[in-house]
Amino acid sequence: MKLELNETYLKRLEPPEVGRLEISDTKRAGLRLRVYSSGRAVWMYEKRIKGGAKRKHTLGVYCAWNAAGKRESGPIGLSEARRAALDIEAEAARGFDRVLDAENARREEQKAAASIQTVQNVLNTYAELHLSNLKSGDERKRQITDALTKHLDQPIGALTRASLQKPVDDKAKDGKLFMANRIRAALKHFTRWAWRREYLEEDVGDRLERATKERIRERILSLAEIREIWATSFELGDLWGPLLRLLLLTVQRRSSVTGLRKSELNLANNRFKKAISDEKNERAHTTHLSQPAMIEVEHALMRLDQMEGVKEDFLFSTTGRTPVSGWSKAKARLDKLLGDEFEHWRFHDIRTAFATHMAERGISESVVDRVLNHAATGSKPSAVARVYNQAELLVERAVALDKWAELVTQEGADVLAIGGRA
C-alpha cells in the first residue's frame, strides 16, 4: 500500500490479524511503516548508496499494542522518521554506507576482542575444533604448548614472527633438525588457523624458516645389517629384545607393535589385528605372525605371567597399565652394541628394507603395501585400486612375512595356512 502518510491516518491504524501490513510513504520515497500482527509497528527505509548496493535501515518503533490491547507510542513519530530518512538519503548521495560502516566497526571490535585473548585460550579452541579430529592431535598440542610456553598467558595478538622462530631455532641448535621442522609446521598451521578466524591481524607464522631442507631418505638396510640388528637384540633383555624382534619380523609401525594388546592376538590363526583407531591411516589391519614371531609373542606372554598383580591387556609393558616407552633410550643402547662402524639408521628403515628386499624376490607391490598397511596399492593407484579393491590378500601376505622371517633369522620357515587356504 502506498499513500502520503499523516498523523490522522496513523492514529487510526490497527494491526492485522495475521502476518504483517506494509505502508509506503509517497512523500519520502523508500520510507515505509511495517505493522506486525503482534501489535508492533516499525519504520523502515531503503536507499541505494551512490556507486554501491541498496541498503535497508531500521529507523525505530512507531508504536506498539500491549497485552491489554492498549496502544503505546514509540520513540519515532512520522516527522522523526522522515528526518532520519532524509539524513540517510544525503549520506547515500555522498557514497556513505551506514550498514557497511557499522559492519566494519563491529568487525574491528571483534578483532580487538579476539586479539586480547590469551595464546592458551586460542590454543584450547584450536585443539577443540581442529586437533581433536587428528590422531596425532595430543602430540601436536604438546609441541605447540612447549614451543610457546613463555607466551601462553600473553594476548594472542602479541605473538611475533621472532617469538615463533625462536623455539624452532633452539631445537635446531640442539641438533634436532627434523624435530625443529615438525615444530615449525605445527606453529605455522596454528597461526594460519588463528589468522583465518581473526584472532591475529596477520599470519605471523607464514614465513618461518626451516631448520633444514629434508630429502627423501635413501637409507636401505642390507640383509647383513638386518641380521646384525636381529643378533644384537638378544642382548637387550626380556622386554626390549622380544619387542624389537617382533618389530623386525612383522615390519609394522612402532606404535602398532608397542601398543599390542593380548586381546588383539589370534594365536590359533597366527595373527593379530589392530583396530582402525590404532592405525595411522585409519584402516583396520591384520598382521600375520611367522613362526619366529610367534616365539617372541610367547616370550612376551610368559614375561607378563611372571609379573605379579598384572592383569592388564598390554603385551609389552612395565606397569601392565600402559605400553612400554623409551624407544630413544633403547635405540641408543642398541647403537652402542652395534658399534661405531654401523651406519646411522632409524627404525623406519626396517620397513623400507622389507619393501625393497621383498620386491627384489618377486613379491608384488600390492602385497607389500598391504603388509605395511599403506593406503595405496602401487605408486599411483587407479580408482578401482583405491576404492573397490578391498582384497586383504592374507595368504600372500603370510607368504611374504614367512619369507622375510627366513631371510632375517636365516632359518627355514613353513608357510602357514590362513583362512583355510594353504
- SS3 of 386-405: HHHCCCCCHHHHHHHHHHHH
**Residue type, position 361, single letter:** R
| Domain count for the chain | 3
What is the model's pLDDT at position 282? 54
Please report whether residue 50 resides in a domain. Answer: yes
Q: Are residues 289 and 376 in the same domain?
A: yes
Q: How far is CA 12 from CA 23, 28, 31, in A?
A: 14, 21, 19
What CATH code is carried by the domain that includes residue 164? Answer: 1.10.150
What is the model's pLDDT at position 281? 47
What is the model's pLDDT at position 55? 93
Whole-model pTM above 0.85?
Answer: no
Q: Are residues 130 and 243 in the same domain?
A: no
What is the model's pLDDT at position 43? 95
CA distance 293 to 270: 9
Containing domain of residue 302, as a range?
Answer: 223-409
Q: Are residues 229 and 343 in the same domain?
A: yes
For every one of its 422 residues, what pLDDT tens digit does the chain have, with 9 covering 90 and above?
899 999 999 988 888 999 999 999 999 999 999 999 988 999 999 999 998 899 999 999 999 988 787 889 889 999 999 999 999 999 999 999 998 888 888 877 777 666 678 999 999 999 999 999 887 788 899 999 999 999 999 999 899 999 999 999 999 999 888 889 999 999 999 999 999 998 998 999 999 999 888 665 667 899 999 999 999 999 999 999 999 999 999 999 999 999 999 999 999 999 999 876 555 545 678 999 999 999 999 999 988 888 766 566 888 988 767 888 899 999 999 999 999 889 889 999 999 999 999 999 999 998 999 999 885 444 444 443 444 344 578 899 999 999 999 999 987 655 443 333 32
Q: What backbone phi and psi angles, to 5 degrees, belong to 73?
A: -70, 145
Please report how the helices 177-196 and 161-173 are oriented relative to each other, as an axis angle in degrees rounded to 10: 160
Return the C-alpha cell found at 58: 531500521
For residues 114 and 199, the answer to whether their CB atoms sit within 8 Å is yes
Please report whether residue 321 resides in a domain. Answer: yes
What is the model's pLDDT at position 416? 45
CA distance 112 to 342: 57
Q: Is the dihedral of CA 250, 255, 260, 265 positive or negative?
A: negative
Please report whether residue 105 resides in a domain. Answer: no
Please report whether residue 84 resides in a domain. Answer: yes
**Residue type, position 338, single letter:** L
Q: Are residues 232 and 158 in the same domain?
A: no
User: Helix, strand, coil: what percent of the chain each, to 5?
Assistant: 50, 15, 35
Q: Are residues 289 and 390 in the same domain?
A: yes
